[in-house]
Structure 1
Amino acid sequence: MVILNEEERVALRSIPANKSLLGRAAATLAVVAGLMASLLTGIADAHGSTTDPPSRNYGCWQRWGSDFQNPTMAQQDPMCWQAWQADTNAMWNWNGLYRENVAGNHQGVIPNGQLCSGGRTGGTRYAALDNPGPWKTVTKPRQFTLTVTDQARHGADYLRVYVTKQGYDATTTPLGWNHLDLVATTGRYAPAGQYQVAVNAGSRTGRHVVFVIWQASHMDQSYYFCSDVVFQ
């Protein structure tokens, strides 16, 4: 599905109404060709996210990307609904939630309550991801394999995987560093389409948030992902 921004809508509206049918068709095709070129460029420049368990915005895109205007989302998936309403680009750009030049000082740069948006990276684009509420969960065993998908094959200096402490309630409390335990950290990964890490959640049960930092290798670029899970 191609979503037109305002500039693109204006371009289509600006095609003179008095053009011949053939002329209007040719002009419309020219605009569409430009849109496709832009879309392909966006894919080439894409980045990545945690895809298993899915990050909040990747999950929203996965479930609703082809049906994002469906009003039943408000009842069936209210947290995705509020995120789509706040800024559709948070889902269309599910692979772009990163900050640059953090220099490893993640806790100093990302404030409590803003971990899922990467400290409001991109202005307010991802801010809705910080909101507590009944985010859709996936069920995982306490020992599982986590997957980060890297569309641009940036490589990774490391992955850090945190899991919330027992008793934290993601439905009522924005995520803070004080809610997390570091459960896995890795070395470098050569550039590839996916990076995986074994995660052991210990004795945790019930609803939790898995928080991932992916430090890309091609430059000082840090990605931050929140995934909602239920441990059996």
Structure 2
Amino acid sequence: MVAIQKIGVLSLGEMGAGIARLLVAHDFTVATNCQGRSEDTLNRARNAGVELLISDQELVEKCSVVFSVVPPRDAEATAQRVIDALSGGSRADRLFYADLNAIGAASGLKMCFAAMTKGYTAIATQSFSTAHRLGVAGELRKEMAAVIPTHLGEAEKGVPSMVPKAYRWVREMEEIAATMNEEGGWGRDIFTGAAGVYKAVAEDEVLSKEKTGKRNRGTSIEDVAAAIGEGFERKRKKTE
């Protein structure tokens, strides 16, 4: 059995940092190439307990295993970086290289589909709760029924059923935000905002008590909106 001296991780995005933290927690020494990386990446590496090296050459010389944790589009280029680093060094023993690909096709599809479905549920939750506080929830329903009845049907089904699952969807929205950013080049704001919606539901004094199969509140889109409004009002009074 080959002794693992040090594990290299390329690169230290959110997913790579998560893997690095797990390895460090299990007493492995982890390193990465910090050359040309942003201050955010450097801080992420430091917070994960990762050793910062100055080049790919140093990485392949000091590590016995290298994990490639990059988007699929960067996988080949990253592998070539390691090959180039090896060709210019004096390493005598074997280097083990694992191409982990942060987002595969199947998980990428799952993320994009969830963005459409659960992302819409967050929009509907925010829209109906705001309309409720403005006193126009009934008018919003009528407008949707006339113009986009399918969307209304999805909201009526999706928003109430979301309530007992909201706590799980917070992290899922954060993962979607990371995927859209790292794979699609988009900002994170839309889905971190959706995560905020689900966090508000999950932490609501009333709605947080709801369990699948044992429902009392939030069994209709109107009652979800009303409960959220009540929660916001309680918070407002506490701050006065």
Same fold flag (TM > 0.5): no
Question: What TM-score comes out, normalization by structure 1 length?
Answer: 0.22
TM-score (norm 2): 0.21
Q: Which structure has more strand as a fraction of its residues? A: 1
- Greater relative contact order (Cα < 8 A, sep 6+): 1
Higher gyration radius (CA): 2
